[in-house]
Structure 1
Amino acid sequence: MSEDQLLYALALQHVPNIGDIMAKRLIAYCGSAEAVLKEKRQNLLKIDNVGAITLKHLFETEHLKAAEAELKFIQEENIKVSYFESEDYPEKLKHCIDAPILLFETGNINLKQQHLISIVGTRKITTSGMAFCEQLVEELAVFDPVIVSGFAYGTDITAHKAALKNKLQTIGCLAHGLNQIYPKVHKKYMAEVEQNGGFFTDFWSTDAFDRNNFLKRNRIIAGLSEATIVIESAEKGGSLVTADIANSYNRDVFAVPGRTTDMQSTGCNNLIKQQRAHMLTTPLDVPYILNWQLEEASKPVIQKQLFIELDDTEKLIYHYLKNEDKQQLDMIAINCNLPIFKVASILLNMELKGVVRPLPGKFFELI
C-alpha cells in the first residue's frame, strides 16, 4: 500500500457517520478511498443506503489534515498497517463484514498456516479459572496455536502469560491507539509479547480512551480466530459480547461450565444452556471439535497392542464404528447417545490406545 493510498484510507476512516461497512461499500463503488473522497456527491448518492446524512462530513478538509498527522505518527513509530483488501490482512478477519478497513500492528506477528483461538473472560478471574486457562494453553501448545486476547486484567493477561510460558505466539487486541497501553501495569509484558506476537488495534493515537472502545475491539478478537473460548463470565460482561460476535461470524464458541452457585460461571452456563457454545471440560475438546491435526512428525508413536482394554463407552463407540466404517464426531455422539464433548475425549483416549484415527472433516475410523 503506497503512502498516498494509506493517507486517503486514513482520511476516509476519520469521517463521522462512515463506519467500516459503509466505507467498504463506498470503496467498492469508487475503486479506492482516494476515489471516494474525490467523487461527486450526486454520484455517491446513487449507492444503496447512502444518503445525505452519511455524506454530511465526507468532503471536509479536516479529514486529510488529521490523516497526515496520523500518518506521521505511524511512520515515526514504525507501525505496520494492513488494508482490508491487501494480502497481509488477517485472512479470517477479511470475512467479517464490520472488520476495520485499516488494522494497525506492532511486534512480530505471523499468521500464516496458524491456528488462532481467542481466550476471553472476566477480569475478576478465580483461582480455578486461572488454573484451567493455564492448563488449556499448556495442553494445546503441541498444536502451536496463536493465542488472542484483549490484554486486560484477569482472563486476558492470564492467557497471554500462559502463551508466553509455552513459547506460543500471542496477540493483544487493544481498545486504544498504539501510543499508550491499558492497563499501565501490563506495560512490563509488552516487550515479550511483541517478541512473540504483537498487538492489533484499529484506533488512532488521537482517539479518546472510552469504555465503548472495548466493545468495539471485541469484533477483532472474535474475527481473528476460528474459535472463541470463554473461561469465566458473570451474567453480563464483555466476554459474552465477544462470544455473540463470534457466533454471528459463524465461528465456534466454547464455554467452561461451573457450579450454578458461582457468579463467575453464570455467563458460561447460560451460553451452554442456550446452545450458543460447546461445553469445554477438557482442553482436548478444542482440537477434536475444531478437527485440528497434528503433524505426523510430532504425533506420539503408538504401539498397537494385541489385546486392548476398552471401557464400556469406548466399546460402544468401537462397535458403532465397526459397523459404520467411518463417521463424523457429531453423528457418533448422536447414535451412541453421548454428549459431543464426552465423545471427543473418549476418541482421544482411543486414538492414544491405537484403536481409532482422526480423518479430515471431523471423521473417525477404526485402525
Structure 2
Amino acid sequence: MSDEERIYSIALTQVPGIGPIWACNLINAVGDAVSVFKRRGELPQLMKGATSRIVQALDCPQALQRAEKEYEFIVKNNIRCLTINEEAYPCRMRECDDAPIVLFYKGNAELNALRTINMVGTRNATDYGKQICLRFLNELSEQVPDVLVVSGLAYGIDIHAHRAALANNLSTVGVLAHGFDRIYPSVHRKTAVDMLAKGGLLTEFLTETNPDKHNFVSRNRIVAGICDATIVVESAAKGGSLITADIAESYHRDCFAFPGRVNDIYSVGCNQLIRDNKAILIQSAEDFVRAMCWDAELHPSKGENVQRLLFPDLNDEEQLVVSLLEKGDQQINTLVVTTDIPVHKMNSILFELEMKGVIRVLAGGMYQLLG
C-alpha cells in the first residue's frame, strides 16, 4: 500500500457529508481512495447514487491538507495506518457495513488473531465485576492462551479487563475514542504504555479529536466489530456496554453476560440481556469456551492425521458451507453473515468439516476447502 493511498484514504474520512459507509462504497466503485478524488467527475457514471453533491464535496483541498498533516504525525510516531483493503486491517471489522476505511494502530498484537473477545461493562465497576475480570481471564489464559482481549480503556470494567489480561500474559488492545495525541482518561496512561508491549492501541480518530460522547458510541462499533464475541461483565439498565452488545448482535457476533443479583443496580443490564435472549449466560471461562466450541478445536477427540473421507456424509448446513468455500478461502465471519448461522454453531460446523478432512483452518480465522 502506497503512502499516497494512505493519505488519500485519511482525506476521504475528512470530507464533510461522507461517512464510513459511503467512503467504503466509493472505494469499491472506483478501486482506491486516490481514484475517488482524482476521478470524482466520473463517479455519477461509475456508481449508482453518486450525485453532483458528492462530486462537489470531494473537491476539498482542506481534507487533503489535514490528511498530509496527520500522516506526518503517524510516521513520526511509528503509528501504523491500516486502510480497509490491507491484509493487516482487522478482517472481522472489514465484514461490517460501517467499517472505518482507516484505522490507526500502535502495538504488537495480531489484530487478526484466531480467537478475539471483548470485555465491556459499567464505568462504576463493583468488587464483584473486578473479581469476574480477574477470575475469568485467569481461567481463560489456561484454556486459550493465545486469545486477544479487547476493551475501551475506559474507567471501570474496561481498564480492569485490560489489567487482568496483562496480569495473565494475554495480549490486549484498547480502542480509543480520540486520536493518538492523548490518552483519555489520563490516569490510565501507564496501563496504556504497558499494553504497547503486550497488545496495542487502536483508533479511527485523528489527532486533535476530543473524546466527546458520540465518539464513544462510534468507538463501540470497533470494539464489537473486531471480535468474535462480546462479554458484558456488569451494566446498569442503560450504558455503553449495552450499545456494544446491540452492535455485536447486528454484526452476527455472539454476546455473553455474567448474571448478578436482581437488586444490584450494576447487574440490571446483564440480567436484561439474558432475560431477553440477547446474551448467553456464563459463569466461568469454561462456560464461554464450551459455548464458542473452542474446546473442541483445542482438544480434538480424534487423531491429528485426519484423512478426508471419499464421500463425506454432509448435512444441509455443512454442504452450504462447503459450497461457499468452493469459491475460495473464507473468513469465519464472512461465512456467518452469508449463511445467517450463529458464530457458535458455525464453529461447530467448521470443526466437524475439519474432522471429516473436508476443510482446514488457516491463520486469522480463514478456512480452506481441501482438494
Please state which band the TM-score falls in when normalised by the shorter chain.
0.7 to 0.9
Matches within 5 A, 1:128-167: 128-142=128-142, 143-144=144-145, 145-167=147-169
The offset of 1:192, in angstroms, is 1.2
Give the alignment's TM-score, normalised by structure 1.
Answer: 0.79
Is the partner of 1:284 in helix, strand or coil? helix
Contact 1:45 1:51 in 2 (8 A): no
Match of 1:86 in 2: 86
CA, structure 1 residues 123+59, in 2 after alignment: closer, same or farther (shift >3 Å)?
same
Measure, in 2, the Cα distance between the counterparts of 1:36 and 1:227. Answer: 34
Measure, in 1, the Cα distance between the counterparts of 2:348 and 2:2. Answer: 44
CA, structure 1 residues 360+42, in 2 after alignment: closer, same or farther (shift >3 Å)?
closer
Match of 2:339 in 1: none
The offset of 1:208, in angstroms, is 3.0
Contact 1:121 1:233 in 2 (8 A): yes
Matches within 5 A, 1:243-258: 243-258=245-260
CA, structure 1 residues 359+87, in 2 after alignment: closer, same or farther (shift >3 Å)?
closer
Match of 1:306 in 2: none
Deviation string, structure 1 residues 64-118 (Cα, Å, up to 9, x no partner): 1111111111111111111111111112111111111111001112245431000
Contact 2:7 2:71 in 1 (8 A): yes
Is the partner of 2:248 in helix, strand or coil? helix
Aligned residue type for 2:283 = T
Aligned residue type for 1:290 = M
Is the partner of 1:228 in helix, strand or coil? strand
Which protein is bigger by CA-based radius of gyration?
1
Give the alignment's TM-score, normalised by structure 2.
Answer: 0.78
The offset of 1:20, in angstroms, is 1.1
Measure, in 2, the Cα distance between the counterparts of 1:100 and 1:196. Answer: 24
Aligned residue type for 1:288 = R
Is the partner of 2:35 in helix, strand or coil? helix
Aligned residue type for 2:30 = C
Is 2:111 the counterpart of 1:105?
Answer: no
Deviation string, structure 1 residues 6-53 (Cα, Å, up to 9, x no partner): 111111111111111101111111111111111244633763343355
Matches within 5 A, 1:39-118: 39-41=39-41, 43-44=43-44, 47-118=47-118
CA, structure 1 residues 29+235, in 2 after alignment: closer, same or farther (shift >3 Å)?
same
Match of 1:281 in 2: 283
CA, structure 1 residues 89+60, in 2 after alignment: closer, same or farther (shift >3 Å)?
same
Match of 1:223 in 2: 225
Match of 2:29 in 1: 29
CA, structure 1 residues 45+269, in 2 after alignment: closer, same or farther (shift >3 Å)?
farther
Alignment match of 1:172 (pick from 168, 171, 174): 174
Contact 2:40 2:55 in 1 (8 A): no
The offset of 1:60, in angstroms, is 1.7
Aligned residue type for 2:209 = D
Contact 1:291 1:361 in 2 (8 A): no
Aligned residue type for 1:87 = E
Aligned residue type for 1:58 = L
Aligned residue type for 1:266 = V
**What do you get for the CA RMSD once the two structures are aligned?**
2.1
- For structure 2, the residue ranges without an aligned partner over 5 or more in a row are 302-346, 353-371
Range with greater deviation from structure 2 (232-241 or 44-53):
44-53
Aligned residue type for 1:44 = P
Contact 1:233 1:268 in 2 (8 A): yes
Is the partner of 2:212 in helix, strand or coil? coil
The offset of 1:282, in angstroms, is 2.2
Measure, in 1, the Cα distance between the counterparts of 2:9 and 2:38. Answer: 12
Match of 1:238 in 2: 240
The offset of 1:251, in angstroms, is 0.3
CA, structure 1 residues 359+17, in 2 after alignment: closer, same or farther (shift >3 Å)?
closer
Q: Using the aligned pairs only, state the percent identity.
A: 41
Is the partner of 2:294 in helix, strand or coil? coil
Aligned residue type for 1:140 = L
Match of 1:305 in 2: none
Number of residue-to-residue matches in the alignment: 304
Measure, in 2, the Cα distance between the counterparts of 1:43 and 1:116. Answer: 38
